[in-house]
Structure 1
Amino acid sequence: MFIKNIIISGFRSYREQSFPDGLSPRTNVIVGKNGSGKSNFFSAVQFVLSEKFFNLSAVERKELFHVGSGRPSLSIFVEIVFDNSDGRIVIPGRAEELEIRIRRTVGLKQDEFRVNDRRFTANEVHQLLESAGFSSNNPYYIVEQSRITHLVTMNEEERYQIIKDIAGTKIYDERRSESKRILDETKSKQEQISHSISQLEGKLRELEKETIELKELQDSEHEKKCLEYCIFNLELENCKEGLFKLEAEWSSRKTTLFKNQESETLTEQEIQTCEDQLAEISGLMSRLETERESIEKEISILSNKQTVIDLDANDGANSLHRVDKEYAALLKESSDLENVLAKVKKDALDKRDMFKKSESLAIKSLEEVDQIQKLADHMQEKRNRNRLFKNQTERDRWITNEISKNKETIDNSRSELQSVEKEITSLDEAIKLRKITKDTTHSVEKVEKDLESRETKITEALTKRNNLNQKRRQLWQIVHEQENVVKHLEESLKRTHQKMERIIPYEIRQGLQSLQEILKEFDANTRKAVHGPLIDLISVEDGFQTAVEIGAGNTLFNVVVDTFEIGAMVLEKINKKRKPGRISFFPLDTCKGFKKNIPETPECSSLLSKVSYNDRFTKVVAEVFGRVAVVASLESGLKFTKELHLDVITLDGDQLGRKGAITGGYIDKLNMKLPIYANEKSLTLTLTEARKKLDDLCQELASVEQCITEVLNELEFLRAENISTERKADEEFREARQREEHILRLSSQKETLLSTKRTLAKNIQESIEVNNRLQDELGEKFKINWTEEEELKLEKLSEELASMKINYVSLQAQPLHLATEVQLMEDKVQHMERRKAMIADRIREIGWSKRTTHGLDRERDSLKHESILLNDRLNAIKKSIDASIQQKEEIQKKMENLNLNQLSKALSLQEKEDIIDKTQAQRNLLLQRQDEALNKLRKLGIVPKGSEKYANFSLGKLMHQLKCVNESLKKYSHVNRKAIDQYTALQQSSNELVVQQTSLEQELKSIYDLINHLDMKKDEAINRTYKQIQYHFEEVFKELLETEDTYAELQLVKSKSNKDEDPYCAARICVSFGMGTVVSELEQLSGGQKSLVALTFIFAIQRCDPAPFYLFDEIDAALDAEYRMAVSNMIHKQSEECQFIIATFKTEFLTTADKVLGIFFHNKVSRIQTISMEEGIKMLRQVALADRKRNREAEYQDQITNN
């Protein structure tokens, strides 16, 4: 067994640490700088395995958490993975685990152990480790540097205590202390028992004297008992005689009282009927008053609405008169305007034709003038150039330059022309789009048609609303009547239910209620198997209800079930749920009832024949009624009881048992279970139907109100649609006019652009012609002077040009005049068309306003009709209220007479009841005296012997004899009546104490033997352990020094105490390193020698009690180099049998290590990883160099400080 891996998370300086390639099963050496985390690593192992970390406070747990960069962890854990191929650790229930994982997890409020993912307590983990060889008596499988120092500095007594701990004497000491405590307790008990026995013997002697006096007292008490028996028996006979006389008198008076009570009951029924009628009438009046108030409120609301509508209608009528006049004037103006507009349009068209003809003549004349002007200008320019330039070269250069400029001008003009053409195209598309949009607008006829259609729908909706309002009022009336019916039924059912609660025992009612609640938790089959109480399953013939109810009693409420198991299951569920009440069952499979043959005669018949039921319940009904006959009277019943040997019952409920018992008396017919129960069922059914009808009516009323809401919403929607249509039509007509005006503006822009286009085309053509002429001139020969012919041609052109300009001026005046006239006429047409559109809009608005006025008239007529209906209903309600008041007064008068009659009967009944109560009080007094006599006789028990001698004594003589006996008993007042019982009890206690004393003596002997045995075993364990440690101590010392003249011995120092204590008190170490005498004072040795002796002692302990692995923390710190090598070789040799994990600052252990681990510390986080031996040696040298540097700096600082 060895440690395969150690996983650390969040423990101190280790955030996340594990060994991916595992640990060596032999020697593992850990190296690193001071403060890098070696001690924390060993603490992590002890955190899981050592007991000193088992009980941690909250503060100590918090100190274990890793503190570094990043988010702090909420919990930490350390997990040690053991190779368990040798089966050294055995987990209960999982004996063959090849790998054991022991994990300990700690949070701020958590501390748990898990072994192979199973939760263990700390104590269980401790026991598991002890079973694997980790002895709590030998904690030296984990050795820290401080422990070596402690072994060197400890005294001999402490060293001896270590030997005792390894020997396991702690267990012996604990058992011996426990035995000593038990011994002391046993001695104390023995002393107490001896003292108690002596006290009991003294009390027994005193009780022997008291027993004699007690026997004399008992004789006197026996005589007193005989006298008391005779006195009580005589009193009982006297009471029986008095009761017989009072019974006859009480029975006669009770019969008269029953008759009077029946009469009073009938009066109470009549009063109750009147009260029900009054309640019904009051409910009706309340409903009618509520409806009257509601209708009056509606009439008020309708009156207000009608007033508002009348005002609106009157205003509408007045405005309609004014509007009609305006409407006629607008129609006339529209007609006149249409005629004038047609004439103006025709005149404008004629003028435009004249303008176009005149304009074409002027343009043609202008073109001819331009042509001659261009030719004359060219000749003039040509002549000027000939004068300007000296030679042809200069002229050609200038012409070429001009041609180039003209081409550039042509290009710019063409570009501008393209832009103008694009704008014209864009305007054409916009005009086309406006014309298309204009075609899609709504016409006036369509709008008028839509408005007319909605007005028709509004009229229909108003009619529907009025009809629904009328239906709603009718439904309100019906609902109020039905609510009154339901309320009356609920009150009747409540009274009936209260009667049922009075006549049915409370626990039975609770039981039936619990049954109903518990059945909801069962499935459907179980619920079907429970048929309910017997009273629900039978019906009784009229006239026999009293006999059936008295005969059955409370069995009427026994619940019928299919099987005994069903009843038991239901009862178990009721008990489990702690439901209140009691309940009885009739299982069909266990009931064996049968119908007894009873002759059917006028005077006698079977009670079962008067009951109707389902055939499947025959046995249950026969069990209750099968052996009972119903008879006409008690006299005939007595005869049938003797003949048929069965119980009989009369129609009035008097019973006669077959054994002779007679039971009967007055029965209140108003409080009979069967009729009240049947009435309750009937009322429940009727109430359910009435509530259903009320729900249907309420649902219908809600549906009607929903329809009214929908109609009102439809009216609002139609009116809103009318307004929206009118507004939309206005907007569309206004948009249409705006589109027409926009089209005119676009057309005007287009004309301007077309004129610009013509100008640009003309400029381009002129520039081309100039270039052509310049090009022609470029090919001509340069002349300085013109010829006469050319001069004449130029003069001729000038004269022709002047004549043509005069003609053009005369032609140009007429188009200008016509253009002005055309523009004025077109402006007038536009103005007249706008006026025409405004007139059309106003005519349309007037038409719509007339429609609104007609709608108000319809609404006013509707409100008048509804008001008439409400007034009719209000008058009917007032008549009903007057009739109800009259009927109520009549019933109240009748109730007053009945109450007076009942009062007189109640006074008479009270007098008779008082007499019966007095008779009953006398009877109760005699019964009380009779019961007291009986109780006294029962207390006396059986008839005492010798009482017959007082049988003929009178009551006075008996009382005298009793007084004499009581006087004689007074002298025995001091006698202890429990003397005999006390004597017997004390004698028994004395015998028991003697037996306990004998048992305690045997226990003392056993405890002494156990203590001696423990002392012997303890001495044997100490001697055995000492010899083993001494042997291994000497052997290890020689192996480490490797010389023959060495000497090492572990000596036990005997104590000078008594035999009850340890024979030894200390352990002394004597060693010789082969260089002198034997040394027993370790202070005389050097530091390295002390450490070597301490390690020898530790190795000797480990060989005496070996563990599967060892952890050494810097055990070689104080060793000399030669000793370090020897210790390293020894560990390497022992690693064949166990595992070593060693932390060191020296290089000797690295030479024998199977695996070298380096600890690195960065950003407050420690990390361990596998390194090579050379890397380990290099790291140790760096550590040593850093230490020397630090020491030199410290010495330097000390020197500075001293100076």
Structure 2
Amino acid sequence: MHIKRVELRGFKSYGEMTILDNFDRNFNAITGLNGSGKSNIFDAICFCLGLHALKSMRVTHTKDLIFKEGTGNVTEAHVSIIFDNTDKNNRPIGYEDTNEISITRSIKVNSTASRYTLNGNVSSKEKIEEMLASVRINMKNPTFIILQGRIKQVINMTPIETLGMVEEVIGTKNYEKKKADAVKTIEEKNQKLIEIENLIDNTIRPHLIECESAKEVYDKYEQAKREYDYVHKKLIAYDFFKNTIKIEKLTKDKEEQKSVIEKQKKELEENKEKQEDLRGRIKTCEDDLKNNQEMIESNKNIHEKQKEKAKIQAQVNLIEKDVKDDEKNIKDLQNKKVKMENNATHQNNEYIEGKNRSENLLKVYEESTKQLQRATDSYMAASAGRQMQQDGRTLTVHEKLNEAEKDLIRAQGSIKEYKMNIKHTERKLKEKSSKLAKEGNKGEEEKLKLKKLENEKLKIEKRLEACNHDPEIFEQMQVEAEKLLHEIQKLEKSIGDIRTKHGLPELDYTPPVNFRKEEVHGMVYELFKVKEEKYTTAVEFSFQGITSAVLSSDNTASKIAKYLQRTYNLLCMDKLMKLEVSEDKMIDAKRICKDVHNLMDLLEYDTKYARAIQRSFPPTIVCPDTNTAFKVCKSVKVNTVSLDGDTYSPQGLISGGSAQKQTRMLGTMKLYDALQTLKPKKEKYLNLKNEISKMSKIHNEYENIRHQMNQITGEEELQREIVSRSADNELRTECDNLKQELTTYQCHLEDAETKLATASSLVKQYKNEAENFEATKERILKEASEGLAKAKKNEAKAKKEYENFVEKFSTVQNARSTYQDEISELEEDMIKLKELNQKREEEIKCLLERISSIDVVLQELDEKRQKIEETFSEKNKEIKTFKDSLRSLEENSVSKSIDMNGAENSLKDTKRELENRKNYLRKLNEENPFISEEQNKFGQSGTNYDFEFFDIRKLEKEEGKWRKKLDEFNKNTNIRAAEAYVQKKNSYDELIEKKRIVLDDKKNLQIFINSVDAEKDEAIKYACQKVNVDFNNIFAMLLPNAGAELKAYFDTKNNHKINGLQIRVHFGGKWKESLDELSGGQKSLMSLSLLLALLRCKPCPFYILDEIDAALDTSHTQNVGQVIHTFFRDSQFLIISLKQNLFASADVLYKVSNMNGLSKVERIFNAKR
């Protein structure tokens, strides 16, 4: 905590509002000419903090603190200090959460009273002092203030005064106060002790000697009194106990009598109601006898309903007859269809056989036609001297001979060419083989490597097949999983938006370790949706489970209860009971209005959540409008709600729907659909992830094997290339190719030789034909003529057979088509009849429903008619019976009234007796205090009040005996003297005990004084050690190559008690014998060093120093600033100085000026610092 801002108005020379803002946390200096008002700022701070010593503020009267003593327009002095309280380690108690604290004090010219405010609230000086004391600002001992003359005082102090200054800093006044209080108490104890001893010696002891003679008689009196009291207490206790039991019995009797009276009153009321009911019935019966119009109306209604039923029944019978006829027709059609299908099957078989036969005959006919054409062409060619060839050409004998000779020449050339190629290839093969034999098996090693690689590749292929894994399926699964995850995230965002939009709370909990999430089923509103949107308002106003969550069991609830982030209503499915509108009530409601629904029927949900959902809705019937809801609620005694949200309960509670339609159920509908979509996707995603997880190991193994496969394949291809590029392999390949060529040439040579033989034979044949041309021509023409005649005959026969069969087959084909058409017609007829029968059955069903409803009405009408008939025959008897019952009830009422009056009188007697006994017990309790203390023992076995074993008569005799003895003692004994002895003896014992206590207190107080002295001495020693270290260091910094200490002088009788502290100084390690050896400046530096060291003993948040450098040289003032920055980094300093070297070291400088008696302040930020 440090000073942040000071505001002055009307204080001393500051007549106008003056603000000193933005004080630095460490070093602040105030300067200005003499008389400008510098010290008035410090006076203002001391004034505001509650300093009352006017001398310290350099005035003699409070009005001197007001600007111009209040003679001008300013009649009030006002000072405010705003403290920065952001340092968490140095905050006042009670203000730990306050970042800024303000204190204000003001006085008026005509008043000596001050007005304090703390943070804007009126406060007291004591409260402000208490707040400041919690941060070590002691206004009763303001050690944080060092004024101008303090340094000179320190220089002239004696060792005892120096010790007193240290004691003042560490607060030994508290020790002295404790000790003084203890000494004062001891003196009081001594005085008390003298008084006690005087009282014993002068008053108590002489009187005890005088009364001792009556002691023996008094003891006997006391013995008799104790015996009497013992017996009397037992009798009183017995009497109290007996009356208590009697009171309990009377209380019970009173309640029973009340119950009897209430019962009699109720019976009288019921009797009265029954009488009124009987009178009403008698009147109704008499009215019924006067008018029989109801019977006529009933008969008329029955006749009309029977007529309507007969008419409908006739329609039913007629339709049923048509149905039976159609069913018979359908059966006939079915049989006909089966028969036709059999015939069609047989016909179809004939058709297939005929079709095959027709196709074969057609082929034969087409072939004979072709043969006829060839025979005709052959005959025409023979007539022209030419012959038909197999390729269809017609050639003469010479043309055939020329072609055969050409074929012969071509064959001879081919043979020659093939022989040359064979010879050349054999020579080349021989050369390559010889070369290959010379090369040897140089490439065998590379081939073995290739073989080894091929075997390894084969093994890897088998391993790859053994994996039974398809990487494409695995990748597809991963893609599908990513797609599902994206869809799930999109759905979850949509669900979150729905929850936010419609104010639907989410089940927020942190699942414990090893917890099965499937045991939590979610919020109730997530488990259902309204089937139709028109019911959402009604459902919303009935819904009572917006914060209800569904769990599997109460065990689950106990597991997650402490992990819930908010309050929920937990529904445990294993503890829920069925809660719904009964069927009877729904039937009663339907009678009032058909368009009513059980609310649960309007919801879509999983049946396993039915009971949880029922618990969130009271059993409710949904009605189309407000009037219906009111009627159903009143008649059926069930909760109802209208479509507009108006709710009614049997207890009379009514609430209207909101003017603005609720949207929460619309939100739950969307949420339900989203959750239903999300659930299977999540399941599918989890299953996919599980499958992917299972397959990952196989996939990784597969990929490793495939990688090995790719690697070995590359090595194999490289090795194969190496083998193929080897010299012997190339030679072997060339040899193989040459062998293949040689085989091919040899085959071609054999074909050419065959062609040569054929061509030679044909040349020879055609030469013979050419030489015998005329004979050959006649023979060829004859053969052609015979062939033509035979071909014509075959063609005519084939044509006739085909045409005859086609004509016959067309009949089969037409019959088959006819069967198919007839079957289709039959099927259509059957379908039409079935559809017609279905319509008729539906019509019959409707008519039968009408008949059923008419039967119900007829039954009701018939029952009504029978009742009317019975009414007429028994009405008079019933009236007589009602009147007899009425008379009996009236007589019974008179009798019960008499009984009730007697019971009421008995109740009054019981109450009176009960009150008397209670008063008696109250009196016993007041007269005998032991009753309230020992009442719980009355009647208890093992106590003095076990009344079961009491002999009351014996006790009463003993009480009389002791009462008689006490009377005798009262007559013959000076009881007062004996009682006086006892009183004095008690007083004597009490005084002796008080004396002992006073002596013990004196002893304890002396021990406390010794401990306080020891504690004080220990505190002074510790303070001296701490001050010595700081005193030496500060003095060394102010005056280099110098040091100082406080030397302690101990008491000669008590080695632990310090009697004085002497200030010692050394320069260059040489101690001075006396402070008189020091110069004035050195003494001032020593004094200032000690004062600053004492400030560090109990650090304060801020310090006020007024011209402490007045006696210092300019060269030393700069070191003062260095000391402040070095030793007081966590404290704030406000210093008034006229020396530039000192205020130049400050972080912030305030410059004060005065004009015409009015002071002003200018803040200067020290940029050099």
TM-score (norm 1): 0.33
TM-score (norm 2): 0.34
